[in-house]
Amino acid sequence: MKDLAGKHIVLGLSGGIACYKAAELCRALVKAGATVQVVMTDAALQFITPVTMQALSGRPVFSSQWDPRKAAGADLGAGVGNNMAHINLTREADAIVVAPASADFMSKLLHGGADDLLSLMCLARPLDTVPLIVAPAMNREMWANPATQRNVAQLKADGIHVLDVGQGDQACGEVGDGRMLEADELLYDVTAFFAPKVMAGQHVVVTAGPTYEAIDPVRGITNLSSGKMGFAIARAAHEAGARVTLVAGPVSLPTPRGVQRVDVKSARNMQLALDMYMDDATVFVSAAAVADWRPASASDQKIKKDGSGHVPTLTFCENPDLLAGIAASERAQSGQLYCVGFAAESHNLLHHAQTKRARKGVPLLVGNIGPATFGQDHNALLLVDEEGVVEFPHADKLSLSRLLVADIARRRAIWTTASA
């Protein structure tokens, strides 16, 4: 299912060069399954045409509070208009998103100004059912101005969801804070806004990807884990309202928005990183494919082939069991930390997952077939606890991660209560 299927978004554009990003955002919202109704201020019309936004949204664009047309979805009777677009446009909306929101427009929102269709519509929206999300866009000095910062603080206090700004090159030639976020970032924030906040107040630590155990400066032992499942879990936990720390082995994946990422290489590096972040963690999801063994000693120089046919002998030692160690900690045993393990198997998944869960001492073990999922965008999961087994059938990893995070939240609440 598309992330925003069934959602109706009113997309408002105030004046600013960032209107070009609003076109990208409109297209992204539609691709995510939302219906989009565009409303533009007179200033926005100076930067991008209604024809562009109509083509991208598939709906007529509104810009005047005196527009007599019937708003799509308004129950006024066939062909009837009532010159009340500011009312009609909001009543079926799941949210109003103003992107870009200029400094002037945010000031207008703060003071209840209503001298154009977009500001009038924001003032007339039903507060309990139609949230307002604004994406600021302005010059860095305008953004830093105390007046703007006061306005932002008060808008948030009034219940308006003010998004962050980006940092970088600006159209004026200056560099700094104040850019509107990119379309993919805005799409993420809108999608996350609608996600149930079942992890609100939690600190979720997730490990992801492989580890790399050095043989010499240019060779090492690793595995085929791509990290995609762990990164999807981190994103889903953040969408669900958690503060998320992602401890990632060597992978080339973008960091999920809003997630703190810590890059590591070996199993021992991962252990040190976990030691730093577990003190206040409430959920630990061990999705990394941590190497069971490492070379007992790594050469400080490349091991060279000398033509003699002699093959060097490698001696191995066991890596620390990160999940078992954390599951045995005082915080986990007392109910303050809920631990979830992953098992990537090649065969006999249920048997190996049940055995591993008991050996690791965790309340929940998630099993999957490694060769079938490594590097792929889809997966199928087997959730094993002391009561039995639940199967999550084949789906994309983000959808599975959202289901898993919701399930972990439910299980954690029960487990924490039972441990108290």
Distance from C-alpha of 173 to C-alpha of 180, rounded to nearest angstrom: 15
Nearest to 24 by CA among 182, 189, 190: 182
Q: Are 289 and 223 in contact (CB under 8 A)?
A: yes
Under 8 Å CB-to-CB from 260, ≥6 apart: which residues?
243, 244, 245, 246
* Residue in 19, 122, 172, 317 annotated catalytic: 172
Q: Report the DSSP beta bridge partners of residue 295.
A: 316
Under 8 Å CB-to-CB from 420, ≥6 apart: which residues?
335
Q: Are 343 and 351 in contact (CB under 8 A)?
A: no
Distance from C-alpha of 20 to C-alpha of 136, rounded to nearest angstrom: 14
| Element containing residue 136 per DSSP (H, E) | strand 132-136
Is 122 among the catalytic positions? no
Task: Strands of 137-241 (E only): list them.
Answer: 161-162, 166-169, 175-179, 203-208, 213-216, 219-221
Between the alpha carbon of residue 344 and those of residues 71, 273, 294, 350, 371, the distances in Å are 53, 22, 19, 11, 8
Nearest to 354 by CA among 321, 380, 383: 383
Nearest to 39 by CA among 21, 57, 18, 17: 57
Q: Catalytic amino acids?
A: 172
